[in-house]
Amino acid sequence: MSKIMDRSPISIAENKDCMDMMREKPDGFWDLVIADPPYGISYQSSRRTDKKSRKPKIQNDESPFIEWIEPLFEKMNDGGRLVCFYRWDVQDMFLNEIKRSGFTVKSQIVWDKVVHGMGDLLGEFAPQHELMIYATKGRFEFTGKRPKTIYRHQRVDPEKLIHPNEKPVDLLKNIILDLSQDGNKLFDPFLGSGSSRIAAWDMGLDYWGCDLDKDYFCGEEKRFAAHTSKPLLFQPDEMYNFEQTKLFTE
Ligand SMILES: C[S@@+](CC[C@H](N)C(=O)[O-])C[C@H]1O[C@@H](n2cnc3c(N)ncnc32)[C@H](O)[C@@H]1O
């Protein structure tokens, strides 16, 4: 990917069900999908002691949400790439559904968050990573440097999160850099805080994203508006000449 932006990329985000957004698109529409679906843990952050400022529960999080995978397959181009976040204890459900839908599973990717989170303080290992499945529709070959299976990026400061599952923009930029080509279209079916939208915008990639939750969607819209009114401090080509960790700060 040349990363030279000669126009503003398309950037569409909607407050809707991803099943509807997929239905509206023709077959073979997207080249790259980065998905961070509800894992089925009925998650609500208990970090904040003030109950009023707790983030709302994640919608659709009663059981691992995998129903979007099969319809997605048709909507992706030949050679399309899927990166799907998942949790180790529901790995089988995601892996089986991705394979059953026609994708070829190629790699497991690890996001090393550098700093560990909380979890069961006395009973479990301190959690410091998240996992992704990398799968393709047909075959995709890397043309540049072959990416490694571990991305190292500091997680977002919990005090600055606008969404409990917010991914760092830098992490998503590096995934996009490794997996996209000029003119590609990116889809994030579970937009959340909109980190993927900001990453795609900065990388000059056309983008579609959606989220069911109205409150999270409004937060994302504000964040994106604030981001795009800011000029980029670096040319995108320059930004990747450094170590991955803490490359970008928002
Ligand atoms: C794990 S979070 C994604 C977080 C996001 N990656 C980020 O960086 O902020 C999953 C999101 O999916 C949304 N969601 C759940 N079911 C959905 C559906 N059927 N269509 C669209 N969004 C959905 C939830 O509201 C939640 O915001």
Neighbours of 138 (CB within 10 A): 12
The torsion of the CA quartet 177, 21, 216, 163, rounded to 10 degrees, works out to -40
- Ligand 1 centre to CA of 213 (Å) is 8
Residue type, 213: D
User: In this predicted model, what pLDDT tens digit does every residue of 43-61 receive, in sequence order?
Assistant: 544 444 444 455 667 777 7
Residue of the CA atom closest to atom 7 of ligand 1: 166
User: In this predicted model, what pLDDT tens digit does every residue of 203-229 receive, in sequence order?
Assistant: 999 999 999 999 999 999 999 999 999
Nearest residue to 153 (alpha-carbon basis) of 56, 39, 242, 58: 242
Q: How confident is the model at residue 249 (pLDDT cuts 50, 70, 90)?
A: very low
Pairing relationship of beta strands 30-35 and 185-188 according to DSSP bridges: parallel
| Residue 11 scores a pLDDT above 90 | yes
Average of per-residue pLDDT across 61-73: 91
User: In this predicted model, what pLDDT tens digit does every residue of 119-154 receive, in sequence order?
Assistant: 899 999 999 999 999 999 999 999 888 999 999 999
Q: How confident is the model at residue 6 (pLDDT cuts 50, 70, 90)?
A: low
**Percent of the chain clearing pLDDT 70 (strictly above):** 83
216: Cβ contacts below 8 Å, ≥ 6 apart: 56, 162, 163, 191, 192, 193
**pLDDT value at residue 79:** 98
Question: 6: burial class by Cβ within 10 Å (0-12, 13-18, 19+)?
Answer: exposed
Instruction: Specify the CATH number for 11-240; select among 3.30.43.10, 3.30.450.40, 3.40.50.720, 3.40.50.150.
Output: 3.40.50.150
**pLDDT value at residue 250:** 38
Name the β-bridge partners of 33.
82, 187
For the chain, what is the HEC assignment?
CCCCCCCCCCEEEECCCHHHHHHCCCCCCEEEEEECCCCCCCCCCCCCCCHHHCCCCCCCCCCCCCCCHHHHHHHEEEEEEEEEEECHHHHHHHHHHHHHCCCEEEEEEEEECCCCCCCCCCCCCCCCEEEEEEEECCCCCCCCCCCCCEEECCCCCHHHCCCCCCCCHHHHHHHHHHHCCCCCEEEECCCCCCHHHHHHHHHCCEEEEECCCHHHHHHHHHHHHHHHCCCCCCCHHHHHCCCCCCCCCC
Ligand 1 contacts (CB < 6 A) are 17-19, 36, 38, 58-60, 65, 163, 165-167, 189-190, 192-193, 195, 210-213, 216
Q: How confident is the model at residue 42 (pLDDT cuts 50, 70, 90)?
A: low
- Ligand 1 centre to CA of 195 (Å) is 12
- Ligand 1 centre to CA of 57 (Å) is 11
| Residue 239 scores a pLDDT above 90 | no
User: In this predicted model, what pLDDT tens digit does every residue of 20-32 receive, in sequence order?
Assistant: 999 999 999 999 9
- Closest ligand 1 atom to Cα of 190: 12
CA 197 to chain centre: 9
Name the β-bridge partners of 129.
112
- Ligand 1 centre to CA of 44 (Å) is 13
What are the domain boundaries of the chain?
11-240
| Residue 178 scores a pLDDT above 50 | yes
The mean pLDDT of the chain is 87
**pLDDT value at residue 241:** 31
Residue of the CA atom closest to atom 6 of ligand 1: 36
Nearest residue to 205 (alpha-carbon basis) of 227, 186, 192: 186
Average of per-residue pLDDT across 224-247: 59
| Residue 171 scores a pLDDT above 60 | yes
Among 17, 24, 60, 207, say which to mutate for ligand 1: greatest number of ligand atoms within 8 Å of CB.
Answer: 60
Q: How confident is the model at residue 86 (pLDDT cuts 50, 70, 90)?
A: very high
- Ligand 1 centre to CA of 211 (Å) is 5
Q: How confident is the model at residue 234 (pLDDT cuts 50, 70, 90)?
A: low
